[in-house]
Amino acid sequence: MKAGQFFLLIRTLFNCGAACTTSVATVFLLSKGISYVELGTIWGVYLFVISVTDFPTGGLADIIGRKKTFALGSLFNGVSQIVYGLAPNYPLLILAAILSGLGSAQVSGSLQAWLVDELQKENRRKQVGLYFGKARAYGSVGKFIIGLLIGLLMKNNLKILFLISGFIYVCTAVVSVLFFNDNYGDTSKGISISKKAILHFIKSRPLIMFSLIMTIYYLIYTVFIFIYQPRAIELGLKVNFLGYLQSLNAIFMGLGSYYAGELSLKIKPKILLISSYCIFFISLVFISATNLQLFLGGLVSFYLATGMYFPIYKSWCNEYISSSVRASVMSLLSTIASGFNVLFQVLVGWAIKMFGSKTVLLITSLTCLISIMLIYVIALEDSKNKPFLLQIKK
């Protein structure tokens, strides 16, 4: 199996594990009797663990192999979902968040770094954006099916979804161990590669701005996750209908990813990334509406923008990273964004309690304008540093 095909398979499996719980996670946790502030604390712990372990595990992936690191992360994710489902109290929910954070840190950057270097070996480096887009599109097929099943079969017993999710993550780990041909970055000592990655990052102004763009996306997504499920219930939708929203997510995120990947071969990344943030802006405004039709239109727009965002962001960002520290730098970008978002989790929960979801959505929509300005500055750097970029790609 070629690198691109294996990447699509393993990413689809992983996305199916996530799809089992993302459409109901907020409602499920709130049903355990916790408050929005406690919910924010759970997400905050999750992101804090990522922020302190993501960069070291990125270096680990470059040193010991990206297969081992990805498999370990998938296993941690599986265990965390089982603990979420069975946890009878708040402390165990915090434990689940810690395990989930460790898993996400292991996964972050490892699989993407593996694909980029494998395609580079096959002289297909330009197809990175295409495969990132296809991976999200193919994963959306699994999300669509799982969302339909949730809508049709699930009523109130949401716990089973977390157990199924855990099983799928464990299967992902097993498949990656059995069929993943490993590759490595710089196999020097961890301290050396970490230092090399940090120096690589701080010398690149575009990478610094990419980290800010990712931070803003995390803020937007945090607000969305906090608000859309309870808001859907407030507007008259039943809990099982959240599964159908997951299918809606799959359709439009898949379309966004697929066409963004295809268009990345023809259109400059700055145009596609700016377009995604324009759609984010519109979607947040629509989701704040009290009209169900506008709310659903906002969800569709948000899913489409998310699908567009990731393949373009990751493909463009990788143009500034050398192969020897690719996983480390990608993890460093995630670490920086996650570090900021530890604060965002509690602040968003507090802001919703103080000002209401509509005000929070409208204020958050304005951050899209900041991202658009940062993208424009990166594009200017692109035009000034073409020789440097060609050297990095080699």
Tell me the C-alpha distance between 174 and 178, whole Å: 6
Average pLDDT of the residues in 202-207: 86
CB 77 within 8 A of CB 107: yes
Confidence of residue 138 (pLDDT cuts 50, 70, 90): confident
| Angle formed at CA 387 by CA 319 and CA 59, multiple of 5 degrees | 35
189: pLDDT strictly greater than 70: no
Residues 42, 254: contact at Cβ < 8 Å?
Answer: no
Q: Is the confidence at residue 13, as pLDDT, over 90?
A: no
Rama region for 109: left / alpha / beta (φ>0; ψ in -120 to 50; rest): left
This prediction's pTM: 0.68
Give the torsion sign (CA, 200, 376, 126, 60): positive
User: What are the residues whose beta carbons fall under 8 Å from the beta carbon of 80, sequence distance 6 or more?
Assistant: 96, 97, 99, 100, 102, 103, 166
Angle, alpha carbons 207-222-366 (nearest 5°): 70
Compute the mean pLDDT over every residue in the chain, rounded to the nearest whole number. Answer: 82
Phi, psi of 382 (to 5 degrees): -55, -50
- Please tell me the distance from the alpha carbon of residue 205 to that of residue 95, in angstroms, as a whole number: 37
> Are the beta carbons of 86 and 49 closer than 8 angstroms?
no
The 10s digit of each residue's pLDDT in 36-94 is: 788 888 988 887 888 788 767 666 676 777 778 888 899 999 999 999 999 989 999 99
pLDDT for 393 equals: 47
DSSP 3-state assignment of 220? helix
Q: Are 254 and 137 in contact (CB under 8 A)?
A: yes
Buried b / exposed e over 379-388, threshold 16 CB at 10 Å, is bebbeebeee
List pLDDT tens digits, range 173-184. Answer: 998 888 777 766
Please tell me the predicted confidence (pLDDT) of residue 163.
93
pLDDT at position 362 over 80 = yes
Residues 109, 219 contacting (CB under 8 angstroms): no
**pLDDT tens-place string over residues 363-393:** 999 999 999 999 988 887 765 554 444 444 4
Predicted local distance difference test score (pLDDT) of residue 167:
95
Backbone angles phi, psi at 267, to 5 degrees: -115, 145
Interval 286-334: pLDDT, tens: 999 989 999 999 999 999 999 899 888 888 888 888 877 777 787 778 7
Which of the pair, 6 or 153, is modelled with greater confidence?
Answer: 6
Q: What CATH homologous superfamily does 3-179+192-393 map to?
A: MFS general substrate transporter like domains (1.20.1250.20)
Any idea where the domains of the chain sit in the sequence? 3-179+192-393
Residue 243 binned pLDDT confidence (cut-offs 50, 70, 90) = confident
